[in-house]
Structure 1
Amino acid sequence: MTLHTGGCRCGAIRFKASAEPFYTSYCHCSDCRRASGAPVAAFVGFYAADVRYEGATGATYGTAPVKRSFCATCGAPIAYMDERIADQIFFMLGAMDAPENYPPRVHGYVREELPYFHLDDGLPRMETNTAPRPEGDIA
């Protein structure tokens, strides 16, 4: 079994996933840009039941249904959670120990993509989210 591991900059938060990820993506939405401090964010998704934390789980912020976690010590962004799909957790690619192992497969929220930052990589491009929510939920 392959373990997928990651954590924050200072080591206060460590996590591991015991199953393969089901999802990888770029997100161009303004909320992800602000949360990551980057022109685009990248995520790898695992089922929450397959994830274990060692040490702290991180502080959270956000407005329902979305919460983001970060290290309260070093400030590193860790994950994105959505209560509409509570069985899933989306780790920031930069929080993974080997981010090169999780190439994104889709671009999300391209309607908010910065005009000077376009990745012409041939991946599918979605106008809104890329992780399916219950019917009727778009954001």
Structure 2
Amino acid sequence: MTSMTGGCQCGRVRFVAEIESDDAYLCHCGMCRRATGGASIAFVNVAQDKVRWEREPDWYESSPIARRPFCSACGTPLGFAFLERATNIDLTLGSFDDPARFVPRHNFGAESILPNWLDASHLPGIRSEDNPSTTDRWMKTVGKLPD
């Protein structure tokens, strides 16, 4: 078991999770797409008693069966949890400080997969620092590029 940290974009909500495996998954359901604004969302499933919130997140009851932790200050989606009889919580992969260890093992909500967005590996890659429109704004405002 490994302790891993994570949190929201602004740093107001932070967590420590005890991770047992490298398993992650992509959810393609319409509810997750709307909740995150993405084509899918990557989740890491963790036992609820293995997650310690350093500052409790805000919670949104997104359906009659589930709620989602998030930060009301910056809007970062942090996960998904069933309301009843839940022993686990799904934490958003992107909210971990170092998500590189996780490996996608399956797709959930496969009936809602957007096929054009399933594999983007064939598209050209543009590095952030190679985009003058973005780098110029960061340099003018902050004097450096973000980490």
TM-score normalized with structure 2 length = 0.74
**Larger Rg belongs to:** 2
Other-structure match for 1:115: 115
1:1-139 equivalences in 2 (<5 Å): 2-21=2-21, 23-119=23-119
CA distance, structure 2, for counterparts of residue 84 and residue 23 of structure 1:
24
1:21–1:45 Cα contact (<8 Å) kept = no
CA distance, structure 2, for counterparts of residue 12 and residue 114 of structure 1:
33
Secondary structure class of the residue paired with 1:77: coil
2:22–2:101 Cα contact (<8 Å) kept = no
| Equivalent pairs, count | 121
Secondary structure class of the residue paired with 1:111: helix
1:22–1:45 Cα contact (<8 Å) kept = no
CA distance, structure 1, for counterparts of residue 3 and residue 93 of structure 2:
15
Residues 67-117 of structure 1, C-alpha deviation per residue, up to 9 Å, x if partnerless?
A: 111101100000100134511010011111111111111011111111322
1:23–1:46 Cα contact (<8 Å) kept = no
Matched residue type, 1:12 = R
CA distance, structure 2, for counterparts of residue 63 and residue 31 of structure 1:
9
2:43–2:91 Cα contact (<8 Å) kept = yes
RMSD of Structure 2 on Structure 1 (CA): 2.1
Secondary structure class of the residue paired with 2:34: helix
Unaligned runs of 5+ in 2: 122-147
Unaligned runs of 5+ in 1: 122-139
CA distance, structure 1, for counterparts of residue 37 and residue 71 of structure 2:
15
Matched residue type, 2:115 = P
TM-score normalized with structure 1 length = 0.78
Alpha-carbon deviation of 1:24?
1.5
Matched residue type, 1:20 = E
Matched residue type, 1:92 = T
CA distance, structure 2, for counterparts of residue 24 and residue 101 of structure 1:
10
Matched residue type, 1:100 = A
CA distance, structure 2, for counterparts of residue 28 and residue 85 of structure 1:
23
CA distance, structure 2, for counterparts of residue 120 and residue 107 of structure 1:
16
